[in-house]
Amino acid sequence: MKTAWTRWLTLPLIAALTGCGDAGVTAEEGALPSLSERGTFALEIAHDDGAFRRGSNSFAVRATDGAGHAGSVVGVSARMPGHAHGTTPPRIDCADGVCRVSDLVLAMPGRWEITLQLAVPGEQDEALLAPVLR
Mean pLDDT, 10 residues at a time, the chain of 134 residues: 38 35 40 93 94 95 96 97 89 97 95 96 96 91
37 secondary structure, DSSP code: T
What CATH number is attached to the domain comprising 43? Answer: 2.60.40
List the end-to-end C-alpha distance of the chain, in Å, as a whole number: 33
Q: Residue 6 has what pLDDT?
A: 34
Could you list the residue range(s) of the whole structural domain that residue 58 is in? 2-133
Q: Residue 85 has what pLDDT?
A: 83
Q: Residue 22 has what pLDDT?
A: 36
Q: Radius of gyration over alpha carbons of the chain, in Å?
A: 18
Q: Residue 123 has what pLDDT?
A: 95
Q: Residue 27 has what pLDDT?
A: 37
Sign of CA dihedral 125, 58, 77, 21: positive
pTM for the predicted model, two decimal places: 0.76
Q: Residue 57 has what pLDDT?
A: 97
Q: CA–CA separation, 109 vs 125, rounded Å?
A: 28
Q: Residue 83 has what pLDDT?
A: 86
Q: Number of structural domains, the chain?
A: 1
Q: Residue 1 has what pLDDT?
A: 45
What does the buried/exposed string (b/e) look like for 82-121 if buried means 16 or more CB atoms within 10 Å of the residue's CB?
eeeeebeebebebeeebbbbeebebeebbebebbbbbbbe
Q: Residue 8 has what pLDDT?
A: 35
Q: Residue 84 has what pLDDT?
A: 82
Q: Residue 16 has what pLDDT?
A: 36
φ and ψ of 10, to 5 deg: -80, -35
Q: Residue 82 has what pLDDT?
A: 84
